[in-house]
A and B are shown apart, each in its own frame.
Chain A
Amino acid sequence: MTISASIKALSISALIASSAALPAMAQSRNDVIIAVGEQGPNSLDTQTPTSNDYTRMVALQVYDRLVKHGVKTLEDGTQVYDKTVVLPELATSWEVSEDGKELTFHLRDDATFHDGSPVEAKDVEWSFARAVAAGGFPLIQMGAGSMTEADQFEAVDTHTFKIHVPDGNKLALPDLTTPIPIVLNSDLALEHATEDDPWATEWLANNTAGGGAYNVARWTPGNEIVFQRFDDWKNGDLPAMKTVVYRQIASAGTRRALLESGDADVSVGLPPKDFAELGAGDKVKVIGVPKQSAIVNLEMNVTMPPFDNPLVREAMAYAIPYDAIMENAFYGRATPMYGADSTEYDAAWPVPSPYSTDLDKAKALLAEAGYADGFESTIFLDLSRATVREPIALMIQQNLKEIGVDVSIEKVPGSNWFSKMLEKSMPMAVTSFHAWLDWPEYHFYWTYYGANNSVFNVASHVDDALDAQIQKARFETDPDAYESEIKSIIGTVMTELPKIPIAQDYMDVAMQNDIEGYVYWFHTFLDFRTISRAD
């Protein structure tokens, strides 16, 4: 384990050591993938509340999970993960009890961590207990599968591991594929634990103790992370690429130029306009998949007049210039979520709403609601996503003016967006939600469920009948009943309309034409383990 960034000591000698500890870089470009993105990890440990999103990307490559999802190929050749298939990763087989309350996993006999020590059930037990002890996001994610207490995990023998799920939550197994319940080398980590820091968070933030397909060869926070293949990896097909370099380039223009000139192999996080332009050319390829369980809405606070009136919310739904937004804000890199012919919804989410642009109808609805002369309001948006959200707000503002509604636009700095959402003080907002676990009721649990009034319920929508339906669907075992429950929930949210669906945005990745094996994953991060370069 030579994480270069020997950061603790501050002497010059430590800095010399850090830059000298270079990975043995493969000399041939064929063995190396160079990916660029705007941001990067702020830690190597995904199991702490202050870890950012990109630590999940590190966890995917460096640590194994018990199970993983399968991959399917769509008609157009795009590879996406398959939520219906669960495959072995560290566990070779498992049994789920009839009532879903007991999950037993049999670990691979010969799997080792990067330091050569065997992976045992006690490591899994310690790692899972660590995830729930972390609190914050890791605990919430474990909680999605009803895993919240350390005593739910049990190492039966060296290679058998058991999870007790008291409520038999069906999401427990799929939750194990997320980059939170990862398996750490507990002996190695415990060597660095202290009395104040029993879970070795201090040490694991800058070092890895994993057994995944890659190890971190060098990490310069804020600049780059270099992964080196772990050649003794047993838990899947050995990755084709020996070295993966992920560099942070803040400017989207520079990232595009790097890609087009061939100096970078993969770029994530470009504005949709760039993806649309790159996709239209043949220099590089763009793979875009509608983000599962993701939706961009115009959300209205139902506790604030005039949005407490359902007629006003419906009027807004007819006033949005949907087509213009698809064209000039998303540049086509999204699936329309409006204009459905009927209100016979599929039992899936998101689905198109029955609304489309009709200003006369909007005007009539406003008059019916007693706002014939219109009103004033404010649309809030997240400044860090202004590339797409600002044009959306501007176009809505323009249309609303025509029906006498005068809205101003307020941009909230990205660092303040979550606290602003939590305040529930925004009358109108351009919002979005994207769930890792692709179950409609799970999405609704975070966005419409009044009992937990989560941060994503910007509309402050509380409806006890809806809550009961969502809760029932979460634990429904009969497939037919489940389907009708979901349809009924969708019918309710489409008529109560605290959020007006606009579009399901794409997860876009641009890459050189010779890059193969990109798979869309629910977490939207690049999984370098399957990526290869055509000969």
Chain B
Amino acid sequence: MIKLIAKRFLSALPSLIGVIIVTFVISHSLPGDPAAYFAGPSATAESIAETKARLGLDQPLPVQFVAYVGDLMQGDLGRSFNSGQPVLTDLIRRLPASFELTLYALVFAIVVAVPLGLWAAVNPGSWIDHLCRGTVTAAAAFPSFFTALVLIFVFYYKLGWAPSPIGRLAIYFPLPPTITGFFTIDALIAGDFATARAALGQLILPAISLGLFALAPLARMTRASMIGVLGSDFITTAKAGGLPRRTILWTYGFRNALLPVVNILGMIFSFLLGANVLIEQVFGWPGIGSYAVEAVLTSDYAAIQGFVVMMAILYILLNLGVDILNMIVDPRVRYDD
């Protein structure tokens, strides 16, 4: 197992190096000059040159790149112009917010999509199947920020059921002591149920807006996989053997159908983490998505690079995790040495 993990890490290195080079080149070729941006109203050729020198942007690109990689080796992602903080600090502070939101979105998507997919698979071609298809198509068709604004309009503005979309916690609640970084869990650990409830309340609308996005792949995957399993030989055998329908569906069908679904969960999680970008803007969520948007808008090189490198590492880790999980769940899966 350890050998496998080490091997996977080694094989991920080239992609990581590629990501670092590509993001460096792309972010430095973005239109925009951070020195001019910050010199702002006082921009004169001299003051911009001075700011450039201060930011180290007057060096030729290869020199900047070597300096950047050198810092990277020491875990230094540089300093963000926007927040004025080290990028690593920013990301570590913001990551739990995005993770918590993404996790809840994923839970919502699973709870809705998996039963919907199963139901549709058991009754293919029926109205249930069409309902399933219609729902997921509609959910995937609306841009997530639009769904988010509509949800805010209806449930917060019109009905007043949802709390104010002002971030992770309404202003009057104390921040729970940081243990996991997930407000809902930390508040529960601290025994502060009111805060936990408030944090959960803040999560509902953004998690739904984000989760709707993942409905389509999950439901379609579940449906296809279940239909495939139900058509396979062992199910026919089980049916011929006269096993009750419930046993066939759940014990033999469902468990086997779930394998490919588990497989893509890792992918969907990372995909949702990326889709956070717009949702976080709308809900004032202090996560990494809104951080990335702000960074791109102001050509904040260090922050863009840091964000992409971190996402690349996360993707690699997630995929590794899914593979390992797969090996444990499904004895047939072996990654040969």
Shortest CB–CB separation between residue B144 and chain A, in angstroms? Answer: 13
Q: Check: A331 CB closer than 8 A to any chain B CB.
A: no
The reply to whether A263 and B166 contact each other, CB–CB distance below 8 Å, is yes
Q: Is B226 an interface residue (CB 8 A)?
A: no
Q: Which residues of B contact A36 (CB under 8 A)?
A: 166, 284
Residues of B within 8 A of A137 (CB): 39-42
Asked if A190 is at the interface of the complex by the 8 Å CB criterion, the answer is: no
Cβ–Cβ contact A220 & B39, under 8 A? no
Query: Which of A42, A140, A220, A247 gathers most chain B CB within 10 Å?
Result: A42
Residue of chain A at shortest CB distance from B55: A50
CA distance A42 to B170 in the complex (A): 23
Nearest CB of chain A from residue B112's CB, rounded to whole Å: 25
Question: What CA separation (Å) do A513 and B290 show in the bound complex?
Answer: 31
A136-B42 in contact given A205-B84, A254-B152 (Cβ < 8 Å): yes
Tally the A-B contacts, defined by beta carbons under 8 Å. 194
Contacts of B157 in A (CB 8 A): 257, 260-261
Bitwise, A233-268 to B at CB < 8 A (1) or not (0) is 000000000000101111101100110110110000
A222 touches B82 (CB 8 A): yes
Q: Is B201 an interface residue (CB 8 A)?
A: no
B192 to chain A, nearest CB (A): 13
User: What is the CB-to-nearest-CB distance from A180 to chain B, in angstroms, rounded to a whole number?
Assistant: 11
Any B CB within 8 A of the CB of A422: yes
Residues of chain B in range 17-73 having any CB-CB distance to chain A below 8 Å: 30-34, 36-45, 47-48, 50-51, 54-55
Chain B residue contacts of A221, Cβ below 8 A = 82-85, 90
Bound-complex Cα distance A245 to B170 (A): 11
Which of A248, A250, A418 is B43 in contact with, Cβ under 8 Å?
A418
Q: Most chain-A CB neighbours within 10 Å: which of B50, B177, B284?
A: B284
Contact call A15/B37, Cβ cutoff below 8 A: no
What residues of chain B lie closer than 8 Å to A257, measured between beta carbons?
152-153, 156-157, 164-165
| Contact (Cβ within 8 A) B166 A10 | no
Complex Cα–Cα for A453 and B80 (A): 31
Chain B residues positioned under 8 Å from A254 (CB to CB): 149, 152, 165, 282-284
Specify which chain B residues have a CB less than 8 angstroms from the CB of A12 in the assembled complex: 178
One of B123-131, B133-141, B293-301, B312-320 at the interface: B293-301
A148 CB, min distance to chain B CBs, angstroms: 13
Which residues of the other chain, B, contact A50 by a CB distance below 8 angstroms?
38, 51, 54-55, 81, 84
CA distance A210 to B281 in the complex (A): 33
Asked if residues A251 and B160 are in contact (CB atoms below 8 Å), the reply is: no
A22 touches B174 (CB 8 A): yes
In contact, A52 and B156 (Cβ under 8 angstroms) = no
Chain A 17-38 interface 0/1 with B at a Cβ cutoff of 8 Å (1 = within): 0111010010101001010100
Choose one: B45, B165, B170; the contact of A422 (CB below 8 Å): B45
Chain A residues, Cβ within 8 Å of B40:
53, 137, 418
Does any Cβ of A come within 8 Å of B208's Cβ? no
Residue among B89, B280, B281 with max Cβ neighbours from chain A (10 Å): B89
The one of A223, A253, A446 in contact with B286, judged by C-beta atoms closer than 8 angstroms, is A223
Q: Which of A248, A413, A422, A452 contacts B284 (CB 8 A)?
A: A248
Tell me if B213 counts as interface (CB < 8 A to partner A): no
| C-alpha spacing A49/B30, complex, angstroms | 22
Contact of B297 among A261, A263, A413, A419 (CB under 8 A): A413
Contact with A along B149-174 (1 / 0, CB 8 A): 10011001100100011110011101
Q: Is the CB of B284 within 8 A of A251?
A: yes
Contact of A454 with B175 in the complex, beta carbons under 8 Å: no
Asked if A112 CB lies within 8 Å of chain B CBs, one says no
Interface pairs (14), CB distance under 8 Å: A7-B89, A19-B175, A49-B38, A49-B47, A50-B51, A52-B38, A137-B39, A206-B84, A249-B166, A251-B149, A258-B164, A415-B37, A419-B36, A419-B37
10 closest A-B pairs by CB: A415-B32, A221-B83, A419-B36, A263-B164, A140-B42, A249-B284, A223-B286, A419-B33, A455-B43, A418-B36
8 other A-B residue contacts (CB within 8 Å) besides A7-B85, A254-B152, A455-B43: A15-B181, A19-B176, A50-B38, A136-B50, A137-B39, A247-B284, A248-B284, A415-B31
